[in-house]
A and B are shown apart, each in its own frame.
Chain A
Amino acid sequence: GDQVEQSPSALSLHEGTGSALRCNFTTTMRAVQWFRKNSRGSLINLFYLASGTKENGRLKSAFDSKERYSTLHIRDAQLEDSGTYFCAADTGGYKVVFGSGTRLLVSP
């Protein structure tokens, strides 16, 4: 069954504002990764977390394996942040399972 539930499916932000994306997991995951799909359709890795939080510029991610969720916070959103964001969870086997994506649109 579905192991990764990502929300929201779509998000609109004005420049300078912020919000959070969330992934809930139906089982305990070993690690989580967050990706953004760029204009070429390539998936760019934003974060890899086995626990705790990481921050990179205006992005911050958190992962709680016990509570089975991960978040990606975007602050001071810019136009170039628009795109589709995916979380992906390491199930502990030899595969990584993806969420269905959040389509973010940042407008002036």
Chain B
Amino acid sequence: DPKIIQKPKYLVAVTGSEKILICEQYLGHNAMYWYRQSAKKPLEFMFSYSYQKLMDNQTASSRFQPQSSKKNHLDLQITALKPDDSATYFCASSQDVRAETLYFGSGTRLTVL
């Protein structure tokens, strides 16, 4: 059984709309992350959270907003979607935020038309 659940697996959206990517982890971890992988680019760090607090944000745009309603949830809200936002978004977690093994979900592939 997957321990990090990302929903949906595939998502198609129109330009200008808003979507929420869901991530839940059942590993009992205290830290969660979002990464993005665009076509032919390395995995790109977006956010890190520890105990539901933002620790690092490398996303230039405020259109990307993580939301953590529980310690094991870290959703990603994306507003005013653009075609350049098309990518696979990966959620990850680790026991704690520093120097720990990362575990990844299977990703949400977002396509913005």
Using a CB–CB distance below 8 Å, which chain A residues touch chain B? Answer: 4, 30-31, 33, 35, 40-43, 45, 48, 50, 86, 88, 90, 93-101
Contacts and interface: CB of A to CB of B under 8 A. Distances in A.
Interface string B47-90: 01010000110100000000000000000000000000000101
Contacts of A101: 42
Contacts of B50: 94
Nearest to A45: B101
B106 A41 contact: yes
A95 B99 contact: no
Contact of A94 (B41, B55, B106): B55
A50 B42 contact: no
Given A41-B106, A41-B107, A94-B50, A33 B56 contact: no
Given A41-B88, A97-B45, 5 more contacts: A35-B104, A41-B107, A48-B101, A93-B56, A95-B48
Contact of B107 (A35, A42, A86, A97): A42
A100 B43 CA distance: 7
Given A42-B107, A43-B90, A99-B42, A94 B97 contact: yes
